[in-house]
Amino acid sequence: MNLPPNAPSDIVGRIEGREVRAFTIANRKGACARIMELGATLLEFHAPGREGRLADVVLGESALDSYLAGRSYMGAICGRYGNRIAGGAFTLDGERHQLGCNDGHNHEHGGFRGFDKRLWSGRPAADGRTVAFDYRSADGEEGFPGTLDARVTFGLDDGDRFAIEIEARADRPTLCNLVHHSYWNLAGHGVGEVLDHELLLEADFHTPVSADLITTGEIHSVEDTPFDFREPKPLGRDIARLEGRQGYDHNFVLRGFPGEMKRAARLFHPGSGRGFELHTSEPGLQLYTGGHFDGSQPGKSGVAYRRFAGVALETQRFPDSPNKGHFPPARLDPGMTYRHLMEFRFFTER
């Protein structure tokens, strides 16, 4: 396969009078990723199975308008703060900041018009293997203080390593916790539930949540609980032991240190032989099994995604860390660089 000198692009629509482009990056083994400027969103990821057959393994919306209107955050970069902040408020240097409360009384994934609903500017590298997206978030956007300049770079190499590097800088103290929110189904995005996928998490502890999914501030052992993924097990094995119908929507405390690159998870689909290991620099990982999908809205290719149609593995700072002083901080000061690395190392097994 001869790669083009630049990542090929196509136009997916227009927003605010501007064309929205999508860029495709590929490797010599046939894997490829397609990412658009709205939300720096991963639209497609095609990965080979054990017989070499490619399948698109990320869920997606049916059209550009659906990405603007939806609240599933499929494939998007969420920010300025991914996950939830209790009461939609925090105090920084003695000043209280009120955010948009788009999840009941709480703030979630950046508010009513977070980074997933914003137009980024895409810029491909000359080798066709990487593409970078830039976005400037204005002072006061969704209630966050300071102007923040963010960049997300996606890369795919011949070792089937799909890397996402997120960087940001601010001109005054603020919060920054940018999260990539793809839903994965390694059988193929329209095949069905992911409960047969085997998951391993490098986590001995998790952060319990209240009824509205806000972390209580406690840190509990996963021992003898449905949250124990220290050995690979099917996602569906213990899901019935959780309260409610949503399944998993919980943060795990990863082994290692913040800023240190380490393995966080291993996801494998026995039927297709597809899998990946996820490595990250972040201290936490949100496991979400897509419990809100109900088949009422068509997704990509007209597929009606139903409950547990995909699994999100969001590496992150802990939810509500601004209000939990003992959690790893999400503060970003002028002169500092926020840096968040994710690397999906794809493999196949017989």
User: Which amino acids are annotated catalytic?
Assistant: 181, 314
Pairwise CA distance, residues 87 & 330, whole Å? 17
Phi, psi of 228 (to 5 degrees): -85, 100
Phi, psi of 323 (to 5 degrees): -105, 5
The answer to whether 180 touches 83, Cβ cutoff 8 Å, is no
CB count within 10 Å of CB 207 equals: 23
